[in-house]
Amino acid sequence: MIVEIVRFGHPAGTTREQVVEGALATVDRWRANPELLRKFYLLSTDQSEGIGIYVWSSIEAAQRGHDAVWIAQAEQRSGGPVRIEYHELLLELDNVAGQLLRHDAR
């Protein structure tokens, strides 16, 4: 499994409420993507940066989700570059559910 971290800036003066509204506007798109396993919407504490944490089955799935068209649109909206990182997900600890999931490479 792959964790993809996507970072992008917010234009100066963007409020938390505007960020939440923008994030909510993307939920249906991501729900409709059968390759996306999980997504977290984050906001930096100074509200200058949005961060998306995505869990995918593969890097190829992540790259299909964030293709060149998506990146260009995100950069136009944010006024700056989108930065993307990929990481292999090894273990997932969920203290609420009392579970430890091991994600072995296949």
For residue range 57-98, list pLDDT tens digits in order.
Answer: 999 999 999 999 999 999 998 889 999 999 999 999 999 999
pTM: 0.92
Do 3 and 36 form a contact (C-beta atoms < 8 A)? no
How many domains would you assign to the chain? 1
Q: What is the CA radius of gyration of the chain?
A: 15
Q: Residue 63: which CATH number?
A: 3.30.70.100
Domain, as residue range, for 8: 2-102
For residue range 6-33, list pLDDT tens digits in order.
Answer: 999 998 889 999 999 999 999 999 999 9
Torsions phi, psi for 87 (to 5 deg): -140, 145
Q: Using alpha carbons, select from 101, 9, 20, 99 the residue that is nearest to residue 55.
A: 101
